Amino acid sequence: MKRNINSRHFEQSEKSNMLRSSLLRLINKFLTLLTMTIILFFFACTAPIDIETDDSPPVVVIYGVLTDELKYQEVKVSRSSPYFDNEPNSGISGAYVTVRSSDNTVYPFLESDSIPGLYYSQSEFGAQIGMDYFLTVEVDFNIDGIMDKYEAETTILPVPAIDSLTIEPVEMFGHKNHILYVHAQDPPEKNFYLFNVFHNDSLLTQKLADLPVSDDELFNDQYIKGDIYFFDDISEWEKDTEETRKRSVYLQPGDKIDLQLGLISQGYFDFINQCRSGKNGENPLFGGPASNIATNISNGGVGYFAGYAISRKSIVFE
């Protein structure tokens, strides 16, 4: 039994939730805070629990995201496993992976030598705005001698430019923080955004559960100042516990922040949101019943195939 709250779980989701579109993010922040307060108030405790479930049969998992950067694009093909399995999920080797564009260029993918199930495009290419891309993965998954075919498609949408970035200080939970803001004009269409944040060239938003995404429901066609990421001030490092340090990114003068803004499809936006909210299970107060995460992979596969174009901006913290 751990006395003193499962704050780790809540703060984690708190931090990541902070990064959603300005209002829904704010709401989430409140809800998390409220849940935390209540739990504090009731001296709640956590305890490990053994859950017995039947294991669902394995399915093919495909995850690949194309961008307009000129690079070796990646697609990962793996196998689902029982939820509490003690080994990481295994990759699926020997699949035929290709991506075809709407102008009928075919990009074959080759399996990595070192990581089973990871496939790289044979040559470097960048996805082009306005183009559709079709993924095909063929593999004999159920070993019946017949190839099973999984397909998905994505469209690369035009992305608006970032005007500028600013970093502003804020006091929160008694902590000195800095917020990274993006300034940009939202186009009149219904849009969905994704933000990749780099701190001194290391990607902070590697995990899907930490990946900030936003729709433009609350600011459609308006000029926005959107808060994207919360940094801790370097002066807090001394005071913070080892645990907090692991979760925090400390900012000091001279640090370089890069922001990539991607314009994504509603499907991928939903997928990311569902990954985030579904990862830790149900909350009795907020959120809905546990449900499967959406996918655009055909033939009973799970995962997602997406693609987006990027606009960029950098700022040096002073």
Partner 1 sequence: MALKDCFNNGFYFKLIIWSLFFITPVFVFAQMPVNQENKKDSASIKREQLLQEVTISATRRDKNVTNLTMGTERLSIEEIRLLPAIMGEVDILKALQLLPGVQSVSESSNGFSVRGGSPDQNLIVLDNTVVYNPSHQMGFFSAFNNDVISGIELYKGHFPSRHGGRLSSLLEVKTRDAIPDKISGTGGIGLISSRLMVEGPLGEKTSWVVAGRRTYADLFLVFAANKDLRSAKLYFYDLNGKLTHRFSGKDKLELNIYNGLDKMGVSMGSFNYGNTASSLTWNHVFSEKLFGKFSAHFTDYKYALASDMNNMDVNWKSGIRDWTARVDFHQPINDLWDLSYGISGIYHAFNPGKISMKGLGLADYVINGNDAIESGVYLSNEQIFTDRFSVKYGLRFSSFHNTGKIAHTYTALEPTLGAVYQLTNHSSVKANYSHNTQYLQLANNSSAGSPLDIWFSASPNIKPQKVDLYSTGYFHNFNDNNYEASVELYYKDLKNVIDFREHSSLLLNQDLESEVRTGTGKAYGIEWMLRKNSGRLTGFVNYTLSRSERTIPEVNQGKTYLAPFDKTHAVNLVATYNFSEKINLSAIWVYATGMPTTYPTGRFQIGEEYFPIYSGRNEYRRPHYDRLDISLNYIPNTDSKKKWKGEWNLSLYNVYNRKNPWMIAYQQNEDTGIPYAEMLYLFGVVPSITYNFKF
93-122 binders of partner 1 (CB under 8 A):
none
By rule CB under 8 A, what string of x and - marks binding of each residue 273-292 to partner 1? xxx-xxxxxxxxxxxxxxxx
Per the CB < 8 A criterion, the answer to whether 132 and 99 are in contact is no
Parallel/antiparallel/unpaired status of strands 250-251 and 148-155: unpaired
Closest C-alpha among 123, 2, 74 to residue 307: 74
Report the SS3 class of residue 159: coil
Q: Name the segment binding partner 1 (CB under 8 A); options: 46-54, 188-196, 248-256, 261-269.
A: 46-54
What residues between 228 and 257 interact with partner 1 by CB under 8 A? none
- Residue 290's identity, in one-letter code, is A
Residues 124-153 that bind partner 1 (CB under 8 A): none
Residue of 40, 106, 115, 147 interacting with partner 1 (CB under 8 A) = 40
Tokens 């496993």 locate to 81
Size of the site for partner 1 (CB under 8 A): 92
Q: What is the rounded distance in angstroms from the CA atom of residue 172 to the CA atom of residue 179? A: 11
Q: Which of 15, 24, 153, 298 binds partner 1 (CB under 8 A)?
A: 24
Which CB, 130 or 282, lies closer to partner 1? 282
- Count of residues in the chain: 318
Give the type of residue at 222.
Q
Specify whether the CB–CB gap between 77 and 137 falls below 8 A.
yes
What CA–CA distance (Å, rounded) separates 157 from 171?
A: 37
Question: Residue 47 or residue 146: which is nearer to partner 1 going by CB?
Answer: 47
| Interaction pattern, residues 58-87, with partner 1; x per rule: CB under 8 A | xx-x-x------------x-x-xxxxxxxx
- What mask, x for binding partner 1 by CB under 8 A, covers residues 173 to 192? xx----x-------------
Amino acid making up residue 73: Q
Nearer to partner 1, 187 or 278 (CB): 278
Considering beta carbons, is residue 57 or 254 the nearer one to partner 1? 57
